[in-house]
């Protein structure tokens, strides 16, 4: 299990436990007298638990895929970058690890990525790398003529060029090092 997976697993399991606890409580309402009415009054919580289950299931699949077991198969999630960045941020907070603030909006994942997990996993891993620094710099995605550039100062994206089909390294424009350039068709504007 790689460094990021080890760091994310406790946070992911905590969120899964919270969602399971909520669903168990909602199920208990159905066994009570007047349970249908009680459950109906908690429809928003049930919808939230459903959305959380979808998000957490995808994130668990990403951890499995990063470990060599692609259980996601053809599943693609447009919000995958948001989900992985949020989980990395929570895991960093648990370990009191500094992370730069995420951009207000992140690009959406497109369905044409070769797999459903390598782009978000690379972004999460690079963000985790940057958290090893005492004062990490701001980061963002920038759409350029030849693709989406991930500008994340202080990281080393070289290992992810082989893991993300179509990704390349490009020289940084504002200092030493390289940025990760992703094919334009992998992401879209938020």
Is residue 98 a contact partner of residue 131, using CB atoms and an 8 Å limit?
A: yes
Task: Report pLDDT for 157.
Answer: 93
Place of tokens 């989980």: 87
Conformation bin of residue 162: beta by default, left when phi > 0, alpha when psi is -120 to 50: alpha
Coil/strand/helix, residue 170? strand
pTM, full prediction: 0.84
Instruction: Write the CB contacts of 146 (distance below 8 Å, at least 6 apart in sequence).
Output: 181, 184
Coil/strand/helix, residue 181? strand
Query: Which residue did the predictor score with more confidence, 167 or 115?
Result: 167
Is residue 48 a contact partner of residue 18, using CB atoms and an 8 Å limit?
A: no
Instruction: Write the CB contacts of 10 (distance below 8 Å, at least 6 apart in sequence).
Output: 91, 94
Is residue 142 a contact partner of residue 151, using CB atoms and an 8 Å limit?
A: yes
Task: Report pLDDT for 150.
Answer: 95
In terms of residue numbers, what domain contains 87? 3-188
Tell whether the model's pLDDT for residue 132 goes beyond 80: yes
For 149, the enclosing helix (H) or strand (E) is strand 147-151
Tell whether the model's pLDDT for residue 52 goes beyond 90: yes
Task: Report pLDDT for 186.
Answer: 96
Instruction: Kindly report the backbone phi and psi dihedral angles of residue 108, in degrees, each rounded to the nearest multiple of 5, phi listed first.
Output: -90, 145
Task: Provide the β-strand partners of residue 141.
Answer: 150
Domain count, the chain: 1
């Amino acid at each position: 299990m790689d460094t990021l997976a080890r760091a994310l697993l406790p946070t992911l399991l905590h969120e899964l436990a919270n969602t399971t606890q909520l669903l168990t409580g909602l199920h208990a309402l159905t066994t009570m007298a007047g349970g249908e009415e009680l459950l109906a009054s908690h429809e928003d919580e049930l919808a939230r638990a459903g959305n959380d289950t979808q998000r957490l299931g995808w994130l668990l699949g990403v951890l499995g895929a990063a470990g060599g077991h692609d259980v996601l198969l053809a599943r693609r999630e447009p919000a995958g970058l948001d989900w992985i960045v949020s989980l990395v941020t929570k895991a960093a907070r648990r370990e009191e690890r500094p992370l730069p603030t995420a951009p207000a909006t992140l690009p959406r994942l497109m369905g044409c990525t070769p797999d459903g997990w390598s782009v978000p996993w690379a972004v999460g891993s690079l963000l985790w790398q940057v958290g090893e620094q005492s004062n990490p710099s701001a980061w963002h995605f920038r759409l350029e003529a030849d693709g989406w550039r991930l500008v994340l100062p202080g990281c080393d994206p070289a290992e992810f060029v082989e893991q993300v089909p179509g990704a390349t390294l490009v020289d940084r424009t504002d200092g030493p090092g390289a940025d990760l350039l992703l094919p334009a068709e992998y992401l879209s504007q938020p």
